[in-house]
Amino acid sequence: MKRIVSIWLPLWPIERLKRAQPALVPDDAALALVEAGANGIRITAVTPQAAAKGVRIGQALADARAVFPELMTQQADPRRDRSALMRLARWCGRYGPNRNIDGEDGLWIDITGVAHLFGGEEQLLNDIATRLRRFSLTARVGLADTLGAAHALARFAPSTPAVAGEGRTEPSLARLPVEALRLVPDSVLLLKRLGLRRIGDLYHLPRAALGRRFRSAKGVEAVLTRLDQALGVRGEPCKPLLEPPALYVQRSWPDPLIASEQLQSEMRLLTKELCVHLSARGLGARRLALSLYRADGSVAEVRAGLSQPSWAPEHMADLLLEKIAVLDAGFGVDVMVLAAVQVERPGLQQETLATRLTHEARAEASELVDRLTNRLGAARVSRIVARESHIPERAQARVAALARQQPGTWLQSKCPVPPPLLLPTPEPIGVVAEVPEGPPASFTWRRVERRIVRAEGPQRVAPEWWDEITTKKSGTRDYYRIEDEGGAGYWVFREGLYGRGEEELPRWFLHGLYG
């Protein structure tokens, strides 16, 4: 059963501003944040001192000043508020990989299967509340089987943290007001007019009658949906902030680690633990993410990719060491999480009599590719794959070295076997041939004439049918392997055929060089 934590930050915009610029928010000040809109300047957030004077969110600034002339104001900044909330959501990854923001002043965390790492749910909630309090943030916390129930407990329960035990969602929500179901104001007003003030009042009402009664009321159709989501009868999509990992392991310490040697040693232990889980499941990691959660509420993250599925801890550690060596531990790292973001089952490999040598060679090649890619960047390291084409320059393609190899990618090329050095594009040459359809007797390339002493061919390559339709030419190629007086080898071809009624005469091109 899922367990979801909801965190409500009722004073988030003001406390975020105070953390960023303390001078703008004096202690114990009656202050409000304001924002200009189509209907004038409105209040978007207030301190408890201002609220005690009758200032409320959504009120026009002119009306608030009429009630309390001494009201201090600052400009609201929703963009920075949201950006800081996203950073806080990333920091909450220490409590579970699946988390995200909830509205403009809240967060949610899926702690399913994680609580035991903190000594239980109660200790986990206390840790959340304690750390947020150290960050000078006012927070209310709720825990339940669903996001809707946790959201309701965090915002409307009489005390915090508020916990609904597993399978105890219905009785835990019964005494909360209907506002806790995340309904629009019109829906709340209509329900209260009917005497339905608490969530428990809705439990035993006939669902069909409730639907008919509110059929024409704007927004009330959501009442049953929200109730079912809170009780777990109907699912609610919860999109996490980041791609959820396939597997992850984490370590935490009561005293934050600062020394680089300590971080590297703990990271190696994490890679070994992760590889044990991967090996037990017959999986290999393709993408890794290492997150370092600092004591000051910030997060540092490094990622590494692998060209082949791997569960080799030393290789993983080597890839990550290069990146964490330059990270600043700040006030110390108290949680480290290593996640296998993408995993795959290793594919079947062709074996030879020299099995051990083959395995070692493959491992060394893939590890070299991984090191180069993670050091230089994924866009700068590529590999060659075969494509189903008779045209030599189309028979191969470059793809990213870390790209997934689809089954059937390594096909045998259907084009003639090219020389070791294939030019990116064929270069035109001037040719003298003894007979029109015969091999060259001599040719001129890059202003140098070369006399041919040996020739082998031709080997004909027909054009692909769509090229003939597009260009209206045959494009047939006759390839020759030739050698000049100095022993240099060339791969040339004649494009086009004589006596086929084509407007242009056949042309010759140099396509590759032999050693």
pLDDT in tens, 337-394: 999 999 998 865 555 545 554 445 556 677 788 788 878 877 778 777 777 778 887 7
Q: Which of 319, 348, 377 is the last residue of a domain?
A: 348
Residue 321 belongs to domain with CATH number:
3.30.1490.100
- Report the alpha-carbon distance of residue 509 to residue 479 in Å, rounded: 9
pLDDT in tens, 280-301: 999 999 999 999 999 988 999 9
Residues 27 and 46 in one domain: yes
pLDDT at 65: 93
> How much of the chain is helix, strand and coil, in % rounded to 5?
35, 30, 35
Q: Among 62-71, 164-173, 357-366, where is mean pLDDT lowest? A: 357-366
Rounded mean pLDDT, 171-200? 92
Q: Which sign, positive or negative, has the C-alpha torsion 259, 263, 268, 273?
A: positive
pLDDT in tens, 114-168: 999 899 999 999 999 999 999 999 999 999 999 999 999 999 999 999 999 999 9
Rounded mean pLDDT, 385-405? 77
pLDDT at 466: 74
Residue 390 dihedral angles phi and psi, to the nearest 5°: -80, -20
Higher pLDDT, 467 or 507: 507
pLDDT at 219: 47
Q: Is 383 part of a structural domain of the chain?
A: no
Q: Is 407 part of a structural domain of the chain?
A: no
Q: How far is CA 110 from CA 169, 248, 346, in A?
A: 16, 14, 30
Cα angle 328-106-125, degrees, rounded to a multiple of 5:
75
Q: Is 100 part of a structural domain of the chain?
A: yes
pLDDT in tens, 433-466: 888 888 999 999 999 999 999 999 899 888 877 7
Q: Would you call 134 helix, strand, or coil by DSSP? A: helix
Q: Is 381 part of a structural domain of the chain?
A: no
- Report the alpha-carbon distance of residue 18 to residue 142 in Å, rounded: 25
Residue 213 belongs to domain with CATH number:
3.30.70.270
CB atoms within 10 A of CB 138: 14
- Report the alpha-carbon distance of residue 389 to residue 477 in Å, rounded: 14
- Report the alpha-carbon distance of residue 457 to residue 492 in Å, rounded: 10
**H or E stretch covering 314:** helix 313-324
pLDDT at 223: 85
* Cβ-contact 482, 439 below 8 angstroms: yes
Question: Which residues are CB-neighbours of 434 under 8 A, at least 6 positions away?
Answer: 441
Please state whether beta strands 162-163 and 140-144 pair in parallel, antiparallel, or not at all (unpaired). parallel
Q: What is the pTM of this model?
A: 0.75
**What is the rounded average pLDDT for all residues in the chain?**
87
For the chain, give the number of residues: 515
Residues 186 and 305 in one domain: no
Residues 266 and 232 in one domain: no
Tokens representing residue 167 in the block: 């399978």
Q: Which of 244, 272, 298 is the last residue of a domain?
A: 244
Of the pLDDT bands very low, low, confident and very high (cuts 50, 70, 90), residue 503 is: low
Residues 316 and 288 in one domain: yes
Q: Would you call 182 helix, strand, or coil by DSSP? A: coil
Residue 410 pLDDT > 60: no
Residues 165 and 33 in one domain: yes
For residue 170, the enclosing domain spans: 1-244
CB atoms within 10 A of CB 225: 16
pLDDT in tens, 314-337: 999 999 988 888 888 888 999 999
pLDDT at 363: 60
pLDDT at 411: 46
Q: Which of 244, 268, 288 is the last residue of a domain?
A: 244
Q: Is 396 part of a structural domain of the chain?
A: no
Nearest to 256 by CA among 308, 293, 210: 293
Residues 89 and 212 in one domain: yes
Q: Is 386 part of a structural domain of the chain?
A: no
Q: Where are the alpha helices (DSSP H) in 34-136?
A: 48-52, 61-67, 78-91, 121-134
Residues 72 and 126 in one domain: yes
Rounded mean pLDDT, 65-93? 95
Residues 299 and 209 in one domain: no
Q: Among 181-185, 188-192, 403-407, where is mean pLDDT lowest? A: 403-407
Residues 330 and 256 in one domain: yes
Number of domains composing the chain: 3
Question: Which residues are CB-neighbours of 399 under 8 A, at least 6 positions away?
Answer: 382, 383, 385
Residues 320 and 438 in one domain: no
Residues 320 and 431 in one domain: no
Q: Is 277 part of a structural domain of the chain?
A: yes
Q: Is 401 part of a structural domain of the chain?
A: no
* b/e map 353-391, b = 16+ CB within 10 Å: eeeeeeeeeeeeebbebbbebbeeeeeebbeeebeebbb
Residues 181 and 98 in one domain: yes
